């Protein structure tokens, strides 16, 4: 089991030095070129259906508005897949945890292949690593069985990702940051964060912008599952709480190339997980060498355009041109 860094958010904030930009080592088509920018894209038609039969010439990649020559392109997504499943266990989700446990178990057992791995984090008033990287359905199920409503413990214990001093509500942004910066940044292949939450953040030390930045620097795609308990919020006459809700989930997902799935009576969590599985198996992998090779640490805006104007590409909005490490 690879070690999980034990840290407070104060330490995490000091550890935000950008990672060295390089392609995955086990991706043979691009490992000879350390300057390749890799982009995972999904394509949908006007009805929202996934389109999986496009060719390289159907795509145009723009960096800061300038077309870039595509060097590598494939519709096959057998790249290793690493999934971080983040489950909201704040008080507002108490009645949903059993459903999340069952659906999450089925999803992970179906989506993970031999070279894939997953880890599990719960978050409420603190974030806790329930299962580190594994390909074992048994261990992942055991981690899911440990999902409990956050007890409100604060300070330096007992969870692997303790929050500091004052009580919290739902540290959504902190959990996303830690999953991206401390777990996924050093991984190769496709990296995905799946977060099940009502989207309300209360008490995170980090902003949503920092959470998005960490995911972009880790090349991680965030898929948000908007799952709220109407019974809980009905007792309070609606949302009546601070936090971003659905808007925050769209920011997390849209900026990283993911998607927001809404759970309701006609659209169950099991159905959402099936759609998410289909999407992760219908992606296009695009690689290009930027015409602007200046590693100045700046943020570069990305846009994927399609020859067919009736189709829309879903991909991350940009990346950081990270300075090379000094030796």
Task: For residue range 226-285, list pLDDT tens digits in order.
Answer: 998 877 766 554 444 433 488 999 999 999 999 999 998 899 999 999 999 988 888 999
Tell me what pLDDT residue 47 has.
93
Q: Work out the number of other CB atoms within 10 angstroms of the CB of residue 91.
A: 15
What's the mean pLDDT when you consider all of the chain?
82
Q: Pick from 107, 111, 104: which is nearest to 86 by CA?
A: 104
Q: Work out the number of other CB atoms within 10 angstroms of the CB of residue 231.
A: 10
Whole-number percent of the chain with pLDDT over 70: 78
Query: H or E segment at 114?
Result: none
Of 54-58, 114-118, 151-155, minimum mean pLDDT range: 151-155
Residue 17: both structure tokens together: 């030095």
Where does the pLDDT of residue 136 fall: very low under 50, low under 70, confident under 90, or very high at 90 and above?
A: very high
pLDDT tens digits, 4-55: 443 444 444 434 444 444 444 443 333 334 588 989 999 999 999 999 999 9
- Mapping DSSP to helix (H, G, I), strand (E, B) and coil, where does residue 216 land? helix
pLDDT tens digits, 180-232: 999 999 898 889 999 999 999 988 999 999 999 999 999 999 999 999 887 77
Tell me what pLDDT residue 233 has.
66
Question: Domains in the chain and their CATH numbers?
Answer: 37-76+295-320 (no CATH), 78-280 (3.40.50.410)
* pTM for this model (two decimals): 0.81
């Amino acid at each position: 089991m690879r070690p999980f860094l034990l840290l407070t958010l104060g330490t995490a904030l000091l550890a935000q030095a950008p990672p060295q930009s390089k392609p995955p080592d086990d991706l043979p088509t691009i490992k000879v070129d350390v300057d390749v920018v890799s982009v995972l894209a999904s394509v949908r038609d006007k009805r929202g259906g996934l389109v999986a039969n496009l060719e390289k010439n159907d795509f145009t990649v723009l960096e800061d508005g300038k077309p870039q020559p595509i060097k590598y392109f494939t519709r096959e997504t057998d790249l290793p897949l690493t999934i971080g499943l983040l489950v909201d266990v704040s008080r507002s989700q108490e009645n949903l945890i059993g459903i999340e446990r069952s659906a999450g178990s089925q999803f992970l057992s179906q989506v993970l292949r031999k070279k894939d791995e997953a880890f599990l984090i719960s978050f409420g008033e603190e974030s806790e690593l329930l299962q580190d990287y594994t390909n074992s359905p048994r261990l992942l199920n055991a981690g899911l069985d440990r999902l409990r409503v956050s007890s409100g413990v604060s300070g330096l214990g007992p969870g692997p990702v303790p929050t500091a001093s004052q009580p919290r509500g739902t540290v959504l942004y902190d959990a996303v940051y830690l999953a991206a910066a401390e777990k996924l940044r050093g991984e190769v292949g496709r990296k995905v964060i799946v977060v099940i939450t009502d989207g309300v953040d209360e008490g995170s030390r980090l902003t949503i912008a920092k959470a998005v930045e960490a995911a972009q620097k880790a090349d991680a795609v965030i898929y948000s599952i908007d799952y709220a308990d109407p019974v809980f919020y009905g007792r309070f006459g609606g949302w009546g709480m601070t936090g971003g809700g659905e808007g925050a989930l769209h920011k997390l997902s849209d900026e990283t190339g993911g998607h927001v799935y809404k759970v309701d009576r006609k659209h169950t969590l099991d159905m959402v997980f099936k759609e998410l599985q289909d999407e992760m198996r219908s992606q296009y992998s695009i690689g290009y060498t930027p015409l602007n090779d200046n590693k100045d640490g700046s943020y570069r805006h990305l846009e994927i355009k399609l020859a067919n104007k009736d189709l829309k590409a879903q991909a991350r909005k940009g990346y950081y041109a990270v300075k090379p490490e000094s030796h």
